[in-house]
A and B are shown apart, each in its own frame.
Chain A
Amino acid sequence: MAGLTGKDAVLTEYARKLETLDAPKGRSLTQDATRRMVRNKAAVVSVGVVLFIILFAFLGPYFLPWTYDKIDWSGIRKPPNFEAGHFAGTDQNGRDMLARIMQGTQMSLIVAMVATMVSVVIGVVYGAVAGYFGGRVDAVMMRFVDIMYALPYILFVIILVVIFGRNPVLLFVGIGCLEWLTMARIVRGQTLSIKEREFVEAARASGASSWAIIFRHIVPNLSGPVVIYATLTIPEIILTESFLSYLGLGVQEPQTSLGTLISFGAPVAETLPWMLIGPAVVLVSLLLCLTYIGDGLRDALDPKDR
Chain B
Amino acid sequence: MFGYVSRRVLSAIPIALIAVTACFFILRLAPGGPFDGERALPPATLANLRAHYNLDLPLIQQYLLYVWRLLHGDFGPSMVYNDFTVAQMLWIGLPFTLMLGFTAFVIGTIVGLVAGALSAVNQNKWPDYVLVMLVMVGLVVPNFLMAAILQLVFGVYLNWFPAGGWQNGSLAHLVLPVTVLVLPHAGRTARLMRGSMIEVLGTNYIRTAKAKGLGQRLILARHAIKPALLPVVSYLGPGLSYLLTGSLIVEQVFALPGIGKYFISAALNRDYGLVLGTTILYMVIILAVNLLVDILYAWLDPKVRYH
Contact = CB atoms under 8 A, between A and B. Distances in A.
Interface of A: 134-135, 138, 143, 146-147, 149-156, 158-159, 162-163, 181-182, 185-186, 189, 192, 228, 232, 235, 238-239, 242-243, 246-247, 259, 262-263, 265-266, 269-270, 276, 280, 283-284, 287-288, 291, 304-305
B202 to A, nearest CB: 7
B110 to A, nearest CB: 20
B275 A155 contact: yes
Interface string B280-307: 0011001100100000000000010001
Given A143-B15, A232-B188, A182 B148 contact: no
B23 interface: yes
8 contacts: A150-B19, A162-B31, A239-B142, A246-B249, A262-B145, A262-B148, A304-B199, A304-B202
Contacts of B156: 270
B95 interface: no
A133 B139 CA distance: 34
A151 B22 contact: yes
B145 A146 contact: no
Nearest to B244: A152
Given A159-B30, A242-B144, A283-B145, A153 B290 contact: no
Contacts of B279: 151-152, 155
Contact of A262 (B15, B140, B142, B307): B142
Closest 4 CB pairs of A and B: A266-B148, A287-B140, A150-B283, A152-B282
Nearest to A285: B140
A269 B23 contact: no
A21 B113 CA distance: 55
Contacts, number: 129
A288 B140 contact: yes
A288 B142 CA distance: 11
B290 A147 contact: no
Contacts of A186: 231, 234
Contacts of B209: none
Interface string B13-24: 001101100110
B85 interface: no
A25 B142 CA distance: 47
Interface in B22-44: 22-23, 26-27, 30-32
Nearest to A267: B148
Given A143-B11, A159-B30, A189-B234, A151 B148 contact: no
Interface stretch (B55-63, B69-77, B235-243): B235-243
A181 B237 CA distance: 11
Interface string B251-268: 001000000000110011
A162 B33 CA distance: 13
Interface of B: 11, 15-16, 18-19, 22-23, 26-27, 30-32, 136, 139-145, 147-148, 152, 156, 188, 191, 195, 198-199, 202, 230-231, 234-235, 237-238, 241, 244-245, 248-249, 253, 263-264, 267-268, 275, 278-279, 282-283, 286-287, 290, 303, 307
B286 to A, nearest CB: 5
B19 A147 contact: yes
B6 to A, nearest CB: 16
B145 A185 contact: no
Contact of B234 (A163, A185, A305): A185
B23 A151 contact: yes
B137 to A, nearest CB: 9
Contact of B290 (A150, A158, A283): A150
Given A246-B144, A304-B199, 15 more contacts: A143-B15, A149-B238, A151-B279, A152-B282, A152-B286, A158-B30, A159-B30, A181-B238, A232-B139, A239-B142, A242-B142, A259-B142, A284-B141, A284-B145, A291-B136
B195 A228 contact: yes
Contacts of A146: 15, 287, 290
Contacts of A288: 136, 140
B26 A276 contact: no
A123 to B, nearest CB: 12
B148 A269 contact: yes
Given A146-B290, A305-B199, A182 B235 contact: yes
A164 to B, nearest CB: 12
Contacts of B231: 186, 189
Residue among A247, A270, A304 facing the most chain B CB atoms (10 A cut-off): A247
B283 A151 contact: yes
A146 B248 CA distance: 22
A151 B276 CA distance: 10
Residue among A228, A235, A266, A305 facing the most chain B CB atoms (10 A cut-off): A266
Contacts of A232: 139, 188, 191
A182 B232 CA distance: 12
A75 to B, nearest CB: 24
